[in-house]
């Protein structure tokens, strides 16, 4: 679950990360009330789950009530990279001496935590990584050892931290607690600023929480209540499906997160674009398959479906029966390409022979199935 800035700052404060104060507003009246309580000048910040808000006009400075009204009126309701802004965060303008970048995430390849620190905060960190990679200190952390003083010192030295250096160990320690104790997949601050009083403060907060740890955090329900889902994701969640909506035309159904991601890659390699990520997990029976087909077939952007199953514990004949049963209750408005491999694949293919048509197509390899799905999508959109 991704958090908006104001939610991320609330999350940070739970673990002692210093953040800028502010108030949330959903109307011009609330924005005016917040600004007067905080005191001018203030910054008005769009609350949406996208980066680059400042460049897109979603962050504005207001020195008085008139400028605040103009800023709030411009930002509330605006379309920001496909997201409608319904909330703004109002916070006092900070006097900044320096800006840093800090993040913690998991380096899956190294099987270690990764701490990144840069003295070039406040700008597009991806651009910094491309043009000046040496400006970003990358330090691995063994989860067993935790964040030691030596690791902190190494990160500070490599990043060339100057201003606010004496406060950096405390802030990094708090961020590490937020990352580990808070069960986050990512915590990122850009910028972490040194104010005129010498204190380090997180002016922004980007947080991704690990949904599988939600049972340990009942406090997350407050974040979930304000979560913005598109209609497809809302339906999928109600059906208990692991689904993420994308912007392509090939609907994807696979069993296992790794296979689902590989399927997205193969579709792109053969010239297509996925409309979603959908992992059936270990359940690919009639009920689960019906739910998956219902969600994806109802997406008007989907021009072809690609069902990619590798049978291990999940048997391909059970999946095939699930597909046949699902087709009795779900009307396909676009072609569906099915690839079965692994346990009982031959039996699965025999079962599917009864439903094969110009709308239900069976292929034997992942690549040929992806190619056929892309061809069908192009034909449908021609």
Query: In a 3-state reduction of DSSP, which class is residue 256?
Result: coil
Which among 188, 223, 243, 376 is annotated as catalytic? Answer: 188
How far apart are the C-alpha atoms of 258 and 219, rounded to whole Å? 30
| Per-residue exposure over 188-216, b if at least 16 CB sit within 10 Å of its own CB, e if not | bbbbbbbbeeeebbbbbbbbbbeeeeeee
Total Cβ atoms within 10 A of residue 273: 15
Instruction: Dig out the tokens for 371 from the structure.
Output: 């190619």
Q: How far is the C-alpha of 226 from the C-alpha of 2, rounded, in Å?
A: 11
Identify the active-site residue in 6, 15, 100, 101: 101
Q: Judge whether 40 and 114 are in contact, CB under 8 Å.
A: no
**Cβ(80)–Cβ(152) below 8 Å:** no
Residue 228, token pair as written in the block: 């913005």
Active site residue 188: yes
The stretches of 298-365 forming alpha helices (DSSP H) are 316-327, 345-352
Cβ proximity of 323 and 308 under 8 Å: no
Helices (H), the chain: 5-14, 28-38, 65-75, 125-131, 149-159, 168-180, 221-225, 231-238, 257-269, 286-297, 316-327, 345-352, 366-381
Catalytic residues: 101, 188
């Amino acid at each position: 679950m991704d958090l908006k800035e104001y939610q991320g700052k609330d999350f940070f404060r739970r673990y002692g990360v210093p953040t800028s104060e502010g108030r949330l507003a959903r109307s011009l009246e609330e924005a005016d009330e917040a600004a007067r309580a905080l005191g001018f000048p203030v910054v008005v910040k769009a609350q949406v789950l996208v980066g680059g808000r400042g460049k897109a006009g979603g962050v504005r400075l207001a020195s008085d009530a008139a400028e605040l009204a103009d800023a709030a009126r411009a930002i509330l309701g605006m379309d920001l990279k496909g997201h409608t802004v319904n909330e703004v965060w109002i916070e006092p303008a900070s006097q900044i001496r320096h800006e840093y970048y800090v993040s913690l995430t998991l380096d899956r390849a190294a099987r270690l935590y990764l701490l990144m620190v840069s003295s070039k905060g406040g700008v597009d960190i991806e651009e910094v990584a491309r043009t000046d990679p040496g400006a970003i200190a990358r330090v691995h952390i063994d989860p067993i050892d935790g964040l030691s003083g030596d690791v902190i010192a190494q990160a500070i030295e490599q990043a060339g931290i100057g201003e606010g250096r004496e406060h950096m160990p405390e802030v990094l320690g708090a961020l590490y607690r937020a990352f580990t104790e808070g069960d986050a997949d990512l915590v990122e601050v850009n910028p972490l600023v040194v104010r005129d009083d010498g204190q380090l403060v997180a002016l922004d907060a980007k947080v991704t929480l690990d949904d599988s740890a939600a049972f340990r955090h009942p406090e997350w329900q407050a974040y979930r209540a304000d979560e913005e889902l598109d209609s497809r994701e809302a339906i999928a969640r109600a059906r208990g499906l692991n689904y993420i909506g994308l912007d392509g035309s090939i609907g994807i159904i696979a069993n296992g997160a790794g296979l689902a991601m590989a399927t997205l890659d193969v579709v792109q390699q053969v010239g297509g674009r996925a409309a979603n990520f959908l992992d059936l997990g270990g359940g690919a029976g009639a009920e689960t398959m019906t739910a998956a087909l219902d969600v994806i077939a109802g997406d008007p952007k989907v021009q072809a479906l690609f069902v990619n199953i590798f049978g291990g514990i999940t048997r391909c004949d059970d999946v095939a029966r699930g597909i046949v049963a699902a087709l009795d209750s779900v009307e396909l408005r676009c072609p569906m390409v099915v690839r079965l491999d692994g346990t009982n694949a031959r039996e699965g293919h025999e079962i599917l022979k009864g439903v094969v048509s110009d709308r239900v197509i069976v292929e034997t390899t992942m690549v040929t199935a992806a190619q056929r799905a892309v061809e069908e999508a192009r034909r449908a959109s021609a």
